[in-house]
């Protein structure tokens, strides 16, 4: 399909451009970093375009980009990024948001389209990692792969007008990638089979790198009093999706039973931090629950935990579970749409509990914390399951898509 592009390569490698709007502190950004690292450089030449340079990009992510990845910032002029800068500073009121929307339509989008066309001349495929370029998809004589990170049902269920609008844009991609089979099935159903191609492309992990980072010294953080053992949760403090309320109530139930000594360590920041701290106080577990904020490298904290808990209402393909598999950690996760069931191999590589079920979560944690046998067995299965998301399998999946659309 794209033979002219393929023939113009000067070293035989497939030139892949990843794109994302900006970098914040979510799982999408972490999964993109993994993709930039794990692609086989004998097969792929990798570049990255970023719409806006956020504070998280400047302070954290820029240094994580592999040195051989060329980075292009699309909105690179002060007058173009004025409103976005105000947004990062949280100084954009209602009128400011209206002005931003007009500014984006009249100035930013045309500029981005021009820059994207320029970049497309030197690549074979654009991986639109957050589908923020969907208005441009299908253009510039390159292959387009749009990556969706969340449940289609959770985001679009009961919204027929939005579904129809997105269908017009999504069907121009040569492929839409879902992170697991459940999400792929949702896409086929919700868009009535009208997308050109739906593929399953799970998040990728560099297993050895994760294990190496997990062994790093983390003595500068005092997690629990006197080094008490702990359960860990690593997630943005966002109760719309992550549901720390259920986790705190389950932990409070566990504490009341008096059967375990583990504290609870919560890694992450977000708008709900104060509310959750107040809830821990109301539940009379504040002395045993420790909010340690965002951590650039949470892997050592996970590695030293007795087990990891994910309490989400819905997910995409949570990186924290993939990374916990690589570390070899016993896991308790809600059986939410989508991600945990597939990642944990139907419950063989971790324990699944119903969403919002306080007692079931408390029971699962208690069972693993009081019986070392099942906990160690899950840890062994976790390390084996991690290989499904490792470098070799991830490269194979992307190459298979590119071959299918004629871009390889």
pLDDT of residue 219: 61
The span from the CA of 299 to the CA of 197, in Å, is 36
The span from the CA of 209 to the CA of 34, in Å, is 10
pLDDT of residue 296: 82
Tell me, what DSSP letter sits at residue 106?
I
Q: What is the pTM of this model?
A: 0.83
pLDDT of residue 60: 87
pLDDT of residue 10: 66
Q: Which whole-number Å values give the CA distances from 9 to 43, 44, 70, 321, 398, in the listed order? A: 12, 11, 17, 38, 19
pLDDT of residue 221: 66
Domains and CATH numbers, the chain: 3-204+390-404 (3.40.50.2000), 208-389 (3.40.50.2000)
Residue 88 token pair: 């990062």
pLDDT of residue 112: 94
Show the low-confidence residues of the chain (pLDDT under 50).
4, 6-8
The DSSP element (H or E) to which 188 belongs, if any, is helix 181-190
Per-residue pLDDT tens digits for 155-204: 888 899 999 999 999 999 999 999 999 899 999 999 999 999 999 999 99
pLDDT of residue 6: 47
148 and 178 in contact (C-beta within 8 Å)? Answer: yes
């Amino acid at each position: 399909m794209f033979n002219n592009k393929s023939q113009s390569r000067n070293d035989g490698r497939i030139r892949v451009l990843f794109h994302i709007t900006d970098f914040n502190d979510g799982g999408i950004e972490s999964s993109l970093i993994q993709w930039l690292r794990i692609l086989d450089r004998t097969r792929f030449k990798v570049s990255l375009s970023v719409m806006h340079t956020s504070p998280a990009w400047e302070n954290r992510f820029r240094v994580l980009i592999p040195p051989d990845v060329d980075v292009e910032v699309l909105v690179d002029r002060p007058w173009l990024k004025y409103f976005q800068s105000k947004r990062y500073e949280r100084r954009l009121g209602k009128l400011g948001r209206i002005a931003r929307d007009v500014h984006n339509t009249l100035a930013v989008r045309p500029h981005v389209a021009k820059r994207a066309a320029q970049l497309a001349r030197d690549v074979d495929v654009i991986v639109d990692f957050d589908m923020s370029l969907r208005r441009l998809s299908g253009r510039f004589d390159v292959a387009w792969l749009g990556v969706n990170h969340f449940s289609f049902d959770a985001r679009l269920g009961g919204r027929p007008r939005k579904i129809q609008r997105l269908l017009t844009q999504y069907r121009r991609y040569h492929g839409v990638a879902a992170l697991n089979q459940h999400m792929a099935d949702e896409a086929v159903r919700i868009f009535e089979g009208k997308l050109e191609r739906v593929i399953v492309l799970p998040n990728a992990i560099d297993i050895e790198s994760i294990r190496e980072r997990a062994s790093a010294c983390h003595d500068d953080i005092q997690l629990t009093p006197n080094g008490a053992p702990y359960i860990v949760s690593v997630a943005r403090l966002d109760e719309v999706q992550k549901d720390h309320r259920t986790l705190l109530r389950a932990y409070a139930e566990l504490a009341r039973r008096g059967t375990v000594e583990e504290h609870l360590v919560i890694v992450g920041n977000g708008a709900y931090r104060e509310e959750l701290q107040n809830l821990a106080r109301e539940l009379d577990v504040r002395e045993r629950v420790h909010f340690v904020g965002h951590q650039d490298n949470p892997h050592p904290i996970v590695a030293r935990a007795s087990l990891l808990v994910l309490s989400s209402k819905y997910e995409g393909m949570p990186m924290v579970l993939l990374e916990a598999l690589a570390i070899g950690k016993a896991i308790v996760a809600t059986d939410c749409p989508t991600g945990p069931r597939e990642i944990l191999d139907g419950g063989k590589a971790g324990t699944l509990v119903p969403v919002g079920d306080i007692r079931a979560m408390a029971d699962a944690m208690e069972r693993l914390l009081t019986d070392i046998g099942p906990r160690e067995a899950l840890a062994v299965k976790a390390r084996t399951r991690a290989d499904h998301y490792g470098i070799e399998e991830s490269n194979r999946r992307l190459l298979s898509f590119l071959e299918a659309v004629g871009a390889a």
